[in-house]
Structure 1
Amino acid sequence: MERFPSSADYVHLMATLGDLKDEHYRNTLALSTMIELLIDKGILTREEVEKKAAELDQFMTHSPYPTV
């Protein structure tokens, strides 16, 4: 027998999504902070970061692996 989601299931789902949103924000903030510190210390340049981000973005949008 198939069970239909209850109101409590929906509330739990929304709470989980809210938690994920908060965690995503904290992770993004931590990464942004580390990148800015590396640039400020002269370890990386902003151009290097932008170039690598573009390379990785291209890799993700056009997978080199065959699809079935």
Structure 2
Amino acid sequence: MDSFSSSMDLVQFIGKLGDLKDEHYYMTLAHAAMVELLIEKGLLSRQELERKIAEMDHLMTDSPYPMA
């Protein structure tokens, strides 16, 4: 009975993972649509967006602590 329980737990976990994948897709799609609308309306340029992405990426990838 233990193997059935853990197998069912695995099936539920895989199902939840699939749900998260779908949710991530729709959130990414909504984000892309909002960015495109901001650009189309002239509220944001692609260059501003690229500059901000690079700035934020730099902040996220650089460690605030010195590496020995």
User: Structure 1 length as normaliser, TM-score?
Assistant: 0.83
Cα deviation digits, residues 13-48 of structure 1 (max 9, x gap): 100110110110111011100000000000000010
Please tell me the residue identity of whatever aligns with 2:37: L
- State the number of aligned residues: 64
Q: 1:32 aligns to what? A: 32
Deviation (angstroms), 1:63? 3.5
Deviation (angstroms), 1:59? 0.8
Higher helix share: 2
**Structure 1, unpaired ranges of 5+:** none
Please tell me the residue identity of whatever aligns with 2:17: L
Q: 1:21 aligns to what? A: 21
**Structure 2, unpaired ranges of 5+:** none
4+ residue stretches of structure 1 with deviation over 2 A?
Answer: none
Distance 2:54 2:30 in 1: 20
